[in-house]
């Protein structure tokens, strides 16, 4: 079943620029859900396709699309986690194996891969765009009624793990976005106090 989204607008179409109090309220209360508290069902094929489409509607200097997705679910996700368990075993490190709970629990993991393109656009900006994709994917999944969490953990940085995932030499994991149904509603976490974070530049 597809979610009730408008189709992708054609290039050049006039788009609405309207206030959205519902969106503001959603942003004021949105909260990631612990990955180990995510269970099935996850998004179906149509919902996943919608989520990925929404996640790519991000600022992208030079329109390079310097990112891609690797979807992990079902038996293939189990096999991927098994490969990582093998790495943890080889290194005799139970802490590494324990960290895999966040990957194993949710029904769906989407690896957002930063895939920078050579040229004039600074790599830093392309990495930031990949981060924006992660944020948008988490936000869209929450707005669709799922729980979601942006996780990196050791297997995002380990070269043997990223080889199992199939990354190219210039690519990096921006995040694994874990998606599923929350076992329980999330609780508010500590939030930063705004005042010390804001200054006003003046002459
Ligand atoms: C780049 C990045 C990597 C993260 N990696 C992890 C991780 O490996 N493990 C973890 O428990 N949380 C990780 N987090 C934090 C979770 O996403 C955290 O649950 C989230 O920031 C909760 O905040 P929210 O409710 O405001 O979304 C990461 C966050 C970011 C931005």
Is the N-terminal amide bond of 41 cis, ω within 30° of 0? yes
CATH classification at residue 165: 3.40.109.10
Distance between Cα 22 and ligand 1 center (Å): 25
Ligand 1 and 152: CB distance under 6 A: yes
In a domain, residue 58? The reply is yes
Distance between Cα 150 and ligand 1 center (Å): 5
d(C-alpha 20, C-alpha 51), whole Å = 20
In a domain, residue 50? The reply is yes
In a domain, residue 178? The reply is yes
Task: Supply the pLDDT for residue 149.
Answer: 98
Asked whether the whole model's pTM tops 0.95, one would answer: yes
Mean pLDDT per block of 10 residues along the chain (203 residues) reads: 81 96 98 98 98 98 98 98 98 96 98 98 98 99 98 98 98 99 97 98 97
In a domain, residue 195? The reply is no
Task: Supply the pLDDT for residue 3.
Answer: 67
In a domain, residue 177? The reply is yes
Report helix, strand and coil shares of the chain as percent, to nearest 5.
40, 15, 45
In a domain, residue 200? The reply is no
Q: How many domains does the chain have?
A: 1
Ligand 1 and 149: CB distance under 6 A: yes
Query: In the structure encoding, which two tokens stand for residue 115, read together?
Result: 């895939």
d(C-alpha 120, C-alpha 23), whole Å = 35
């Amino acid at each position: 079943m597809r979610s009730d989204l408008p189709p992708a607008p054609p290039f050049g179409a006039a788009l609405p620029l309207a206030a959205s109090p519902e969106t503001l309220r959603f942003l004021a209360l949105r909260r990631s859900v612990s990955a180990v508290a995510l269970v099935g069902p996850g998004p179906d094929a149509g919902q996943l396709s919608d989520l990925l489409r929404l996640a790519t509607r991000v600022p992208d200097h030079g329109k390079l699309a310097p990112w891609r997705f690797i979807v992990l679910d079902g038996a293939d996700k189990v096999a991927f986690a098994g490969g990582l368990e093998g790495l943890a075993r080889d290194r005799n490190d139970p802490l590494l194996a324990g960290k895999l709970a966040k990957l194993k629990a949710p029904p769906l993991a989407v690896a957002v891969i930063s895939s920078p393109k050579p040229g004039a656009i600074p790599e830093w900006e392309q990495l930031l765009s990949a981060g924006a994709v992660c944020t948008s994917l988490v936000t869209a999944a929450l707005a669709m009624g799922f729980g979601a969490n942006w996780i990196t953990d050791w297997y995002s940085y380990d070269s043997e793990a990223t080889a199992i995932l199939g990354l190219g030499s210039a690519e990096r994991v921006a995040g694994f976005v874990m998606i599923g149904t929350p076992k329980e509603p999330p609780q508010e976490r500590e939030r930063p106090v705004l005042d010390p974070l804001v200054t006003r530049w003046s002459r």
